[in-house]
């Protein structure tokens, strides 16, 4: 009987405890900054079609995680895709988001943090009232998913950051 009461109490406490806090940019500080000019990538595959946009995007130097250039390119109304390039060696890092699959994609990132926040509308339910918020860390040199959550918005609204 005591075990049953303990199990019920534990279940109630877990049910009312607050959800895990979202990652904070300050908790993912940049450890290495690029000194000098960034190295351009080898323009092959899809990057070859966007040489000018990538070159222009890298001219101002790194903008994410100390030595990365995150270059956002529009692909229509509420549509973007991106290239992520390590400025140390020109390596194209796989960027899994963008295009029609991530409608209204908005990215939040900065030079002093390896954290990236992505918000977009989940169009799979046809209601256009649910957004996805996903966090990534690029500290290892690749984008690593940290967490994901969903939130509801008013129909015909935009996902927010």
pLDDT at position 157, please? 85
Distances from the Cα of 92 to the Cαs of 3, 26, 41, 140, 156, in angstroms?
A: 54, 25, 7, 14, 35
pLDDT at position 3, please? 45
142 contact partners, CB below 8 Å, separation of at least 6: 93, 94
Nearest to 79 by CA among 97, 56, 102, 60: 102
Sign, CA torsion 121/126/128/129: negative
pLDDT at position 124, please? 85
Lookup: tokens for 76: 């229509």
Q: How far apart are CA 58 and CA 79, in angstroms?
A: 21
- DSSP strands (E only) in 3-78: 68-76
pLDDT at position 19, please? 54
125 contact partners, CB below 8 Å, separation of at least 6: none
Neighbours of 123 (CB within 10 A): 14
pLDDT at position 161, please? 55
- For β-strands 68-76 and 115-121, DSSP reports them as unpaired
Query: Kindly report the CA angle at 79 between 74 and 84, in degrees rounded to 5?
Result: 60
Helix then strand then coil, in percent of the chain rounded to 5, is: 25, 30, 45
Full-model pTM:
0.84
Q: What is the mean pLDDT of each run of 10 residues along the chain (161 residues)?
A: 43 43 96 95 93 95 97 93 97 94 95 98 86 97 96 86 55
pLDDT at position 148, please? 97
């Amino acid at each position: 009987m005591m075990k049953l009461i303990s199990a019920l109490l534990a279940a109630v406490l877990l049910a009312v405890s607050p959800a895990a806090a979202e990652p904070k940019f300050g908790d993912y500080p940049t450890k290495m900054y690029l000194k000098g000019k960034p190295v351009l990538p080898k323009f092959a595959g899809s990057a070859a079609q966007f040489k000018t946009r990538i070159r222009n995007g890298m001219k101002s130097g790194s903008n994410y995680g100390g030595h990365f250039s995150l270059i956002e390119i529009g692909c229509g109304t509420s549509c973007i895709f991106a290239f992520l390039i390590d400025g140390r060696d020109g390596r194209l890092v796989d960027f899994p988001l963008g295009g029609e699959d991530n409608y209204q994609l908005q990215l939040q990132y900065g030079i002093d943090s390896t954290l990236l926040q992505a918000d977009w509308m989940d169009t799979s339910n046809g209601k256009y009232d649910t957004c996805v918020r996903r966090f990534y860390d690029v500290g290892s040199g690749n984008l690593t998913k940290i967490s994901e959550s969903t939130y509801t918005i008013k129909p015909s609204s935009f996902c927010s950051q």
